[in-house]
Structure 1
């Protein structure tokens, strides 16, 4: 996601869909958790799922309690 949106801690224009940062703080072992702002969650979640799929990773949406296709 960092290639598309800057980290919220560096977001002077308030365009980042993330709700917490820095992104590295959400990394633990093989998992990365990142919170999204409600207004942009749909677009950002879809993008994250596409990136995960392209890298053969699994994307789980905790709000929907399901894997993202």
Structure 2
């Protein structure tokens, strides 16, 4: 499994666990706080996925260029 897929999946599982642990905030009526934290975390995970995917693509292109020169 590629790093650009594996790391975000692990972070999504972690977010699920932390959302379950923090459900007290939800039940206390702090809906905006609860969902904004989840939303910002999801945004960071998605951005990380695309950043890692781009990095893998650039690394592959660089390796291909080095192999062509040999």
State TM-score, norm by structure 1.
0.31
The structure with more strand, counted as a fraction of residues: 1
Larger radius of gyration: 2
The structure with more helix, counted as a fraction of residues: 2
State TM-score, norm by structure 2.
0.31
